[in-house]
Amino acid sequence: MKTLVVYLMAGPETPALAEAAAASGADIVELGFPFSDPLADGPVVRRAGERALAQGMRTARCLECLAATRAAVGVPLIPMTYSSLLDAYGWERFAEDARAAGATSLIVADLPADERPELRRVQLVAPTSTDDRLRTAAGTTDGWLYLVTVAGTTGARAELSPALEPLVERARAVTDLPLYAGFGISTPAHARAAAELADGVVVGSRAVEVAEEGPPALAAYVASLRDAVDA
Amino acid sequence: MTRTFGAYGGRYGPETLIPALDELEAGWRAAREDESFARELHELYTSYGGRPTPLTLAPRFAPDKRVYLKREDLLHTGAHKLNNAVGQALLARRLGKQRIVAETGAGQHGVATATVCARFGFECVVYMGSEDMRRQRPNVERMGLLGAEVRPVEFGTKTLKEATSEAIRDWIGSVETTHYLIGSCVGPAPYPELVRELQAVIGRESREQMLTVAGRLPEAVVACVGGGSNAIGMFAGFLGDEEVRLVGVEAAGAASLGTGRPGVLHGARSSLLADDDGQILDAHSISAGLDYPGVGPEHAALRDTGRARYVTATDDEALAAFHRLAETEGIIPALESSHALARALDVDAELVLVCLSGRGDKDLAEVVARRELRLIGR
């Protein structure tokens, strides 16, 4: 059984959207806490973040959104954000309050594994990561390792990155933890191809786009991904 | 290498970039131990860049004191930015990179980057906010003539902050073939130290020249601060001279050190214009080069220890200093440098050294438009 992770930007509709995603087969929901200058994100997530900030989705509101989503679904919820929010809120306090609001872990897109190692989080590794860095990330990660499939920002790509396969091989050599692949996975065909290599897939930008059409559209999209990774 | 400066600095960037930062750090360390690197850099500084740049006394500009101008405006391409661009281009060649990306605000760093790329035969892409492209038109045209591709950035404030984000995003996707030639002492380690060391030539030369022309060190050294590269390069020459006061001048609407708070932007922790939630706020300055909500982490540390003091100048004060220098000394300064000039006039010191970081040709349209508006308003 492969794991399907779906990313949603925090907003007023998030609990309903997460419910639709979970009912259609999402195993984990990542919840984006928007940042004004999201370096790791391509245009789709960047624009979604701008809209969320314009709607007032600041840290306190995002934590409320997390708690409301927690009340709506049973799957693990993982906030994904940037260092500046944690630095302003207090690193430890952020982790504690997120946990209290129902978070299972945390992803910080601009915090490499060797920076603030004491903060428990899901670590990201990339095709450019050296074997040493893979070991450091695997040794400190919280439950699973996030494999960034491409050297690039988040966003849809025409093809699944050829860099994923060698990255999976190198990661398998240093850890037995589950490996979930994300960045650039947008279609059921991508999801299926990635799931054949890794233990799970993360779908972000395309999910954010479909979520704008409402819960039924998101449910249908997530179901198509579920079918693909289970096939 | 110094990765942190007090509580600031560090590496807050996507994992994809970290190996490239390691490679850059190792390349820089090796280059510093290689005499041929130092020789080639010196050769380029002198025979291509026009170093050493002179010191000019400005008696009509500041009749009550002795104000010396360090003439980085006379450097090839018209600003101190070339010091850094030349050094990083040499490094990029050592690292085997064929493509350079850069951000630019006022366009001075973009022009310096396009210049060294032409000289070294690198492909060159410069990201620039569309608002800055409007107000710094001559530099956009210069970059084009030099063979660089200028990519407009159309979102957010359409200025230096977004241009920097886009340059970094480009680098994330091209890191194996591309060097990111950052223009200021900002960004993840090793950039703040690397840029400081390449700009330190300003401070080293100035110190020697002051001893020659004035027979002593200045009481105060004044430089403008956006990201802070001309200031950190100038200050580097005097950090050990406790009796020399170091004064950084920020734009009043972009005072990352004066009114900022700790936060993380573009790969480093520093003092930023940010709100309580860590969201970055918009900066405002007539000077595109200072119109940035962040600042180099070393400046934040120098502020905290009290070794340097940071003050501000308003748009109007900078404009007044711009006109005054033009009319009293026959030198048209960049609007960025005009902020330093404004505070040099009233700093409590008799012997003052100012970093004239760039020339003002690029600002003529903006300044003339402001003057006409003022005349109409009367």
pLDDT of residue B319: 96
pLDDT band at A156 (very low <50, low <70, confident <90, very high): confident
Q: Could you tell me the CA-to-CA distances from B161 to B58, B164, B167, B268 in Å, in that order?
A: 34, 5, 10, 14
Which domains does chain B carry?
Answer: 4-43+81-180 (3.40.50.1100), 51-79+199-377 (3.40.50.1100)
pLDDT of residue B91: 98
Q: Is A97 on the interface with B (CB under 8 A)?
A: no
For chain B, which residues lie within 8 Å of any Cβ of chain A, measuring from their own Cβ?
10-20, 22, 155-156, 161, 165, 168-169, 172-176, 261-267, 269, 274-280
Segments of chain B with pLDDT less than 50: none
pLDDT of residue B312: 98
Per DSSP (E only), the strands in chain B are 4-5, 8-9, 55-57, 66-71, 99-104, 123-129, 149-153, 178-180, 220-224, 245-251, 261-265, 268-272, 308-313, 351-356
Tell me the pLDDT tens digit for each residue of A1-41: 999 999 999 999 999 999 999 999 999 999 999 999 999 99
Strand partners, A6: A29, A203
Quote the domain boundaries for residue A167.
3-230
For chain A, the domain total comes to: 1
**CATH code of A198's domain:** 3.20.20.70
Tell me the pLDDT tens digit for each residue of B62-120: 999 999 999 999 999 999 999 999 999 999 999 999 999 999 998 999 999 999 999 99
Facing B172 at nearest CB: one of A59, A85, A153: A153
Strand partners, A146: A124, A180
Closest-CA distance, A189 to chain B, in angstroms, reads: 23
The residue of chain A nearest to residue B267, with distances taken between CA atoms, is A110
First to last CA, chain A: 10
Report the percent of chain A where pLDDT is more than 70: 100
Give yes or no for a contact between B103 and B183, defined as CB atoms under 8 angstroms apart: yes
> Which residues from B are below 8 Å from A128, CB to CB?
15-20, 175-176
Number of A/B CB contacts below 8 angstroms equals 117
pLDDT of residue B196: 98
Please judge whether B278 and A84 are an interchain contact, meaning their C-beta atoms are less than 8 angstroms apart: yes
Could you tell me which residues come within 8 angstroms of residue A148 by beta carbon, excluding any fewer than 6 positions away?
A124, A125, A126, A127, A182, A183, B14, B15, B16
**Backbone angles phi and psi of B153, in degrees to 5:** -110, 120
Facing A128 at nearest CB: one of B19, B269, B274: B19
Assess whether B357 carries a catalytic annotation. Answer: yes
The residue of chain A nearest to residue B188, with distances taken between CA atoms, is A110
Choice among A13, A19, A37, A41 that is catalytic? A41
Residue of B215, B258, B198, B247 whose CA lies nearest to B44: B198
Could you tell me which residues come within 8 angstroms of residue B33 by beta carbon, excluding any fewer than 6 positions away?
none
Closest-CA distance, A1 to chain B, in angstroms, reads: 28
Q: Which residues numbered 6-65 in A keep a CB inside 8 Å of some CB on B?
A: 35-37, 39-40, 42, 46, 50, 53, 58-60
Distance CA A76, CA A57 (A): 21
What does A120-133 look like in DSSP terms, one character per residue?
-BPPEE-TT--HHH
Please judge whether B14 and A39 are an interchain contact, meaning their C-beta atoms are less than 8 angstroms apart: yes
Report ipTM (2 d.p.): 0.96
Distance CA A7, CA A32 (A): 7
> Which residues from B are below 8 Å from A88, CB to CB?
261, 263, 274-278
Q: What is the mean pLDDT of residues A199-222?
A: 98
pLDDT of residue B135: 85
What does B66-129 look like in DSSP terms, one character per residue?
EEEEEEGGGSTTSBTHHHHHHHHHHHHHHTT--EEEEEESSSHHHHHHHHHHHHHT-EEEEEEE
pLDDT of residue B375: 66
Please judge whether A39 and B176 are an interchain contact, meaning their C-beta atoms are less than 8 angstroms apart: no
Please judge whether B278 and A35 are an interchain contact, meaning their C-beta atoms are less than 8 angstroms apart: yes
pLDDT of residue A165: 97
pLDDT of residue B288: 87
Please judge whether A37 and B12 are an interchain contact, meaning their C-beta atoms are less than 8 angstroms apart: no
